[in-house]
Amino acid sequence: MTPQKELVRPVEIIRRRPQYLAKKPPKIETGVLKFIPLGGCGEVTRSMYIYEYGDDIVIIDMGLQFPEEDMPGIDYLIPNIEYLIPKKKNIRGIIITHGHYDHIGAIPHLVEPLGHPPVYTMPLTRGMILKRQEDFKHLGKLSVEVIREDSKLKFGSFEVEFFRVNHNIPDSIGVILKSPAGTIVHTGDWKFDHTPVNEKPIDVERLKGIGDKGVMLLVSDSTGAKDAGRTISESEIQKNLEEIFKNAKGRIICATFSSLLTRIQQLIWLSEKYGRKVLVEGYSMKSNVAVSQELGYLKVKRGTFIGREEFETLPDEQVTIICTGAQGEDHAVMMRIANSEHKFLSLKGSDSVVFSSSVVPGNEASVQRLKDLLYKKAGKIYHSESMDIHASGHAKSEDIKDMIRLIRPRYFIPMHGNYFMLRIHAELAIEAGVKGEHVAIAEDGEIIEMNSNQFRKSKEKAPTSYVMVDGLGVGDIKEVVLRDRQMLSEDGIFVIIAVVDSQSGKIKGSPDIISRGFVYLKESRELLASARHLVKKVTEETTSQMHPINWAFLRDEIREELGKFLFRKTKRRPMVLPVIIEI
């Protein structure tokens, strides 16, 4: 037992718990800037950050979150916008930092209820937002304004500028907000890559220049704060991937995130260099590739992309397959290939399979299942645990401290992380020179108020209860529905339908039973017969002295007695639902 995952980095996280905020700050009198995370401060996803000064509100990002294990059947979660609804006339604009779903995915659901404020973003991000909007035809057209890295906007009392960052999708930006209270730098998702692939390196001089002018608040990405050292460059990844291309004798099958456009570009270039055509498989992968190619963000030679027909005429060593499914998702392309369930692809002993991705926490078991299948059928398996063929899109601790030293903010708030990442990031900020009382951890819904003299957490909070999207329903799934789903999944359901004569109180005929997910019915005849018998008995005993019959009481009696009986016989607790038809 006690499977393995062990010593990785010789770094300690033994730091003093910083005293983030002064304990009893005086009331703020003058103009105040408020920072309010509606998502992303408590999770590495569902990003949505609010900056509010007087009557002016700027929103940065509007992302979705995929559901957790205890939310069966839910498609995804979106930020709760109750705080904004009464103030929607104050919203001056929505800025989107980059095209990943955890930053754009809630746009179709939220822009309309917020009164259609203008959305601003870079061209590729715009393309991805509009592409996604096509899946929501009933919601109507969305207009998205294009900005450039050097655009300047005026949102009420906010002046807005941008700066380029590296991530793993082109056109990622950070935002500079100049408010009367002071200047704010909001990084978006970022890393330093001084030798990036298919984009310019982050402009360190520009960052230093921003810092030189004086920054009141830095809000920065915490995803990699827990990791020691620095994120390796995409060109390093490229070099390692090239080794695989040099050595591969048969097909190369690469699974990665469909949103990892930088990686997809690398794989296309390597394929071209080594005489391979590229087949792209997977709906989201195809869709992202189409948008980025159309907008000129993916450089692909004519004839590189092939369809199934050409693919089937080519020798193995002239083909690369780029597909979804690096997380072992059941219906994604890689799993279907591995399971021999794909309509025209199956594995060969000469294949090289490449996982150019990380494992999202929670997916480890399904990735192991996928690996088992691959090791049975494919020739060579490369993954990022054994080789540097994936780099994170996020800065690690040393880079993070450099960013803080470049910007030299008066105040610091970590964003885009689980709580533990936020806390580690807060500690890094103190190491990098920010005063302990000028660092705040704001969890979703908490409001940090500040100006040049004051920095404090408000007593007020924005609502942040989960808003779940399930099919066409947005926010209509309540706790009770989820609890029922979980209960149903544990031990199933047991419905008993009895027709009761309201005169005699006796059951007519034999009660019907519907049981699903509880026991294997074919082998449970005896149990079902006893249950029927029990219901008859309980009904007759309960009603014998009862005129008129109290139907609710009878139902409760049946539920209780039947539940106890079934538990005694099986040690399982199905949901027991008695239905009584009075005639």
| Interaction residues for a second copy, span 102-121 (CB under 8 A) | 102-103
User: What is the footprint of a second copy within residues 328-367 (CB under 8 A)?
Assistant: 349, 357-362, 364-366
Q: Which of 453, 443, 582 is nearest to 506 (CA)?
A: 582
116 is catalytic: no
Measured from the CB of residue 353, what is the shortest distance to a second copy in angstroms?
11
Let me know the angle formed at the C-alpha of 121 by 43 and 201, rounded to the nearest 5 degrees.
80
221 is catalytic: yes
Our CB check for a second copy shows the closer of 222 and 543 to be 222
The catalytic position among 102, 189, 193, 221 is 221
User: Per CB under 8 A, does 139 bind a second copy?
Assistant: no
User: What is the footprint of a second copy within residues 228-247 (CB under 8 A)?
Assistant: 232, 247
User: What is the footprint of a second copy within residues 431-470 (CB under 8 A)?
Assistant: 470
Question: Rounded CA gap, 88 and 108, in Å?
Answer: 17
User: Per CB under 8 A, does 552 bind a second copy?
Assistant: no
User: What is the footprint of a second copy within residues 367-406 (CB under 8 A)?
Assistant: 368, 371-376, 379-388, 390-394
Our CB check for a second copy shows the closer of 125 and 179 to be 125
Interhelix angle 234-247/261-273, nearest 10 degrees: 40
Question: Rounded CA gap, 460 and 36, in Å?
Answer: 11
Which amino acid, one-letter code, is at 315? P
Strands 277-281 and 319-323: parallel
Longest CA–CA separation in the chain, Å = 90
User: Per CB under 8 A, does 14 bind a second copy?
Assistant: yes
Measured from the CB of residue 36, what is the shortest distance to a second copy in angstroms?
19
Measured from the CB of residue 372, what is the shortest distance to a second copy in angstroms?
4
User: What is the footprint of a second copy within residues 47-86 (CB under 8 A)?
Assistant: 68-69, 72-73
Measured from the CB of residue 69, what is the shortest distance to a second copy in angstroms?
6
Our CB check for a second copy shows the closer of 294 and 372 to be 372
Measured from the CB of residue 553, what is the shortest distance to a second copy in angstroms?
18
Q: Which of 219, 239, 249, 275 is nearest to 438 (CA)?
A: 219
Q: Which of 384, 431, 437, 68 is nearest to 236 (CA)?
A: 384
- All residues at 6 or more sequence positions from 172 whose CB lies less than 8 Å from its CB, including other chains: 97, 98, 122, 164, 165, 166, 188, 189, 190
User: Per CB under 8 A, does 547 bind a second copy?
Assistant: no
User: Per CB under 8 A, does 7 bind a second copy?
Assistant: yes
Which amino acid, one-letter code, is at 210? I
Measured from the CB of residue 144, what is the shortest distance to a second copy in angstroms?
20
Which two three-digit tokens encode residue 397? 């601790």
User: Per CB under 8 A, does 570 bind a second copy?
Assistant: yes
Distance, CA of 192 to chain centre = 23
Strands 417-418 and 409-415: unpaired
Our CB check for a second copy shows the closer of 420 and 553 to be 420
Measured from the CB of residue 465, what is the shortest distance to a second copy in angstroms?
14
Task: Give strand ranges (E) for 98-214.
Answer: 119-121, 144-146, 153-155, 158-164, 173-179, 182-186
Distance, CA of 267 to chain centre = 25
User: What is the footprint of a second copy within residues 252-271 (CB under 8 A)?
Assistant: 257, 259-260
User: What is the footprint of a second copy within residues 168-227 (CB under 8 A)?
Assistant: 168, 189, 223-224, 227
Question: Rounded CA gap, 535 and 496, in Å?
Answer: 8
The catalytic position among 98, 186, 383, 394 is 394
Binding region for a second copy (CB under 8 A) out of 23-31, 140-148, 282-290, 487-495: 487-495
Q: Which of 51, 76, 101, 162: binder of a second copy (CB under 8 A)? A: 101
Q: Which of 124, 321, 519, 531: binder of a second copy (CB under 8 A)? A: 519
> What backbone torsions phi and psi does residue 437 show, to the nearest 5 degrees?
-80, 0
So which residues are the catalytic ones? 221, 394
